[in-house]
Structure 1
């Protein structure tokens, strides 16, 4: 015979919720229930949402919390989604040895490249600072270089550097890594040639990473004292050009290619803004005064007018 407590509407509703949750879990293998889901005639999704709210506000008894945990409730659905994506990131790392994934990358049927792009953005780990710190630590536990912008370089640069390190660890010789030598479809040899050529334009951190792998800049050919036309500018001009190249590379990495329109402004990792669209237009106007190395750098980043003619 039912006790007086069992006849109370609130208690009957509680038991109905548990029974509906059990049916759902047995059928679906878990208890991640959409908010609008109705199990039979019972609004299970809404009921579970109410239980999570009661748990967060301290209005739930320990006995009921234990029953829900035994049932398999997901207390924080946002964290559950993050954990699923984190599992995909871990699978990507196991294959590639880096979390510097391109935006189109997938793992375990998850668009992990786009997800990593999203979480690297300001606020991408959530508004709660404690949760954001916990999530960042989880990503760093997989790959301490998961967010290359914090180091001062792009995801594309980090991915190639990681692939170069892997090739060397597997026994490849630096002298043998020439254009055409690839890893996971990336031309590491071509990238390495560019790094050697532009060694002095890299950040101190980038040069240190390459030096650890034995990479040195390409020796410059001895030139006559007279400065030839189109020589690479020194001082602030060279620094400004390199900043433009870095901003353009960052734009292409984020957008998957292309050249920004005239009005585009790129936000750089150091917090400054760069009028990358105007900068590209200005380089075109002064094309005849650009050095071959500068034209090559622009052409490599998809600037068609910088490419050599037929």
Structure 2
């Protein structure tokens, strides 16, 4: 008895009728007669009034269709988005219930649990790649110092733009007197290539480091 509001049978608007009798006072003002009518409805479907159970008619209808699919031999794992019943996408609804499991009340969880439905496992969050963030702060300053040291080395050695690369143990003295371990720095940049920002890779490629110009 969870028909959509627009449902009709034998030219009778059964959906609207059910909506009307679920409203407060919908079974009449006489409490004895209202109780008798409620009992008659419950004899047809104990869940005829989902609002009293703290969920919607829409939820009850999808739950009923899911129960029917399972009774016909379907497995919960096979009811995926796109699996329908009477025009309703039961697979998509089921996926939503599993994903929003904590939003369901205890009775809803219990009913789905009896059908073999379980809470969806928590999705593992993938940390954003450093390469997507614009470099800033101390890391950016350290990188710029390395670029300056490499460019200075190439200019002095006559290899500017030609790919001249100092050895691993080379230390370059910057104009401010800082000793920069340029050789080690280049090795480190290569090892962390996939974490460098595109602008950093471009700067290295301009100084002739071929590995910075190729796709990771």
> Under TM normalisation by the shorter chain, which class is it?
0.5 to 0.7
Q: Distance in 2 between matches of 1:111 and 1:221?
A: 44
1:126 aligns with 2:28: yes
> Which residue among 172, 175, 179 is the counterpart of 2:77?
175
Q: Distance in 1 between matches of 2:88 and 2:126?
A: 38
Q: Distance in 2 between matches of 1:161 and 1:184?
A: 13
Q: Distance in 1 between matches of 2:65 and 2:125?
A: 35
Q: Structure 2 length normalisation: TM-score?
A: 0.57
Q: Distance in 2 between matches of 1:148 and 1:159?
A: 10
2:39 is aligned to 137
1:148 aligns with 2:57: no
Q: Distance in 1 between matches of 2:21 and 2:123?
A: 44
Q: Deviations over 1:35-91 (max 9, x none)?
A: xxxxxxxxxxxxxxxxxxxxxxxxxxxxxxxxxxxxxxxxxxxxxxxxxxxxxxxxx
Q: Distance in 1 between matches of 2:91 and 2:124?
A: 25
1:157 is aligned to 59
Unaligned runs of 5+ in 2: 128-216
Q: 2:64 aligns to what SS in structure 1?
A: helix
Structure showing greater radius of gyration is 2
2:115 is aligned to 213
Deviation for aligned residue 1:175: 1.2
Larger relative contact order (CA 8 Å, sep ≥ 6): 2
Q: Distance in 2 between matches of 1:156 and 1:138?
A: 22
Q: Distance in 2 between matches of 1:224 and 1:191?
A: 26
1:113 is aligned to 15
Q: Distance in 2 between matches of 1:197 and 1:222?
A: 13
Taking structure 1 as reference, are residues 224 and 188 closer, same or farther at Cα in structure 2, changes over 3 Å only? closer
Q: Distance in 1 between matches of 2:58 and 2:22?
A: 14
1:200 aligns with 2:102: yes
Deviation above 2 Å: which 4+ runs of structure 1?
221-225
Q: Deviations over 1:91-124 (max 9, x none)?
A: xxxxxxxx01110001121100000000000000
Q: Distance in 2 between matches of 1:218 and 1:135?
A: 40
Deviation for aligned residue 1:222: 3.4
2:92 is aligned to 190
Deviation for aligned residue 1:176: 1.1
Q: Distance in 2 between matches of 1:219 and 1:135?
A: 44
Deviation for aligned residue 1:173: 1.1
Taking structure 1 as reference, are residues 177 and 224 closer, same or farther at Cα in structure 2, changes over 3 Å only? closer
Q: 2:124 aligns to what SS in structure 1?
A: coil
CA RMSD in angstroms comes to 1.6
Q: Distance in 2 between matches of 1:136 and 1:121?
A: 12
